A = this chain, B = another copy of it.
Amino acid sequence: MAVERCMAKKKFMDFLQRKKLRVTAQRRAIIDSAFDTEEHFSAEQLLQWSRRRDKSVSRATVYRTLPLLTESGLVRTMDFGGDHKFYDPNYADHPNHSHIICQECNTIVEFDSDQIKRLEGEMCRKLGFSVKTHRLQITGSCDQLKRLGACARKKAC
């Protein structure tokens, strides 16, 4: 919380400007909510957070803003196969990061690996492609889980 990634916000404002879209109070509340956290969030969560800043934000506006966020490349849709979609606001800072998800407690760790990125590039070149984006999700069990048969954070999220 309270990370204040002005960088991402500023980039998104530029994106709006480039597309000649307007900066409304509601959009500001949504943008602030999305980029003041490093957590992944659902549409519903984003709505709640945004309403805390501006009561007037409607669900429709959140749903209309989400595609703008993803189109800008600063937020990406994360699908962990659960019930609803999640959105990850950390792509401004770490444009290529990957995820490890603990099977048991659903804790998500983000990491970067240039080596993996390099291998992906090589594989793709061999197959006649060049890489634009990649999305790597690893499901795993953490040491605690292996040692104790359960994870302290079990079902925390």
Binding site for B on A (CB under 8 A): 77, 79, 81, 100, 102-103, 109, 111, 113, 115-116, 119-120, 123-124, 127-143, 146
Are B139 and A132 in contact, CB atoms less than 8 angstroms apart? yes
| A to B CB contacts below 8 Å, 25 in the list | A77-B81, A79-B81, A100-B129, A109-B129, A111-B127, A113-B119, A113-B123, A115-B119, A116-B119, A116-B120, A119-B119, A124-B140, A128-B142, A129-B138, A129-B140, A129-B143, A130-B140, A130-B146, A131-B139, A132-B138, A132-B139, A134-B136, A134-B137, A134-B139, A135-B139
Answer whether A129 and B116 are a contact pair too, CB < 8 Å, given A79-B81, A136-B135.
Answer: no
A124 to chain B: which residues have CB within 8 Å?
100, 138, 140
A139 to B109, CA, bound (A): 22
A124 to B124, CA, bound (A): 23
Question: 4 new A-B pairs (CB below 8 Å) besides A100-B129, A129-B143?
Answer: A116-B119, A128-B142, A132-B140, A136-B137
A136 to chain B: which residues have CB within 8 Å?
120, 134-137
Are A111 and B139 in contact, CB atoms less than 8 angstroms apart? no
A134 to B100, CA, bound (A): 9
